[in-house]
Amino acid sequence: MSREEDTAFLKTFSMVIGLLVGVTILLIIVATFVIGGGGNEERQELARQRAEQNLKPVGGVRLSGEPMPAVAKSEASGGEEASSGPRTGQAVVQNVCIACHQGGFQNAPAIGDKEGWKPRADKGLSTLASHVKNGFGNMPAQGGAASDEEIRRAIKWMLEEETGLEVPQG
Ligand code: HEC
d(CA 135, CA 24) in angstroms, rounded, equals 64
In this structure, the number of other CB atoms found within 10 A of the CB of residue 81 comes to 14
Q: Say if pTM beats, i.e. exceeds, 0.85.
A: no
Report how far ligand 1's centroid is from the alpha carbon of 38 (Å).
52
Report how far ligand 1's centroid is from the alpha carbon of 149 (Å).
16
For residue 138, the one-letter residue type is: N
Burial of 164 (0-12, 13-18, 19+ CB in 10 A): exposed
125: Cβ below 6 Å to ligand 1? no
Per-residue model confidence as pLDDT tens digits over 99-158: 999 987 889 999 999 999 999 999 999 999 999 999 999 999 999 999 999 999 999 999
d(CA 65, CA 61) in angstroms, rounded, equals 12
136: Cβ below 6 Å to ligand 1? yes
d(CA 17, CA 30) in angstroms, rounded, equals 20
d(CA 106, CA 43) in angstroms, rounded, equals 41
Q: Within its chain, how far is the Cα of 106 from the centroid?
A: 19
The residues spanned by each domain of the chain are 87-161
- Inter-residue contact 74 to 82 (CB < 8 Å): no
Q: What is the pLDDT of residue 149?
A: 96
d(CA 65, CA 42) in angstroms, rounded, equals 36
155: Cβ below 6 Å to ligand 1? yes
* The architecture CATH gives domain 87-161: Orthogonal Bundle (1.10)
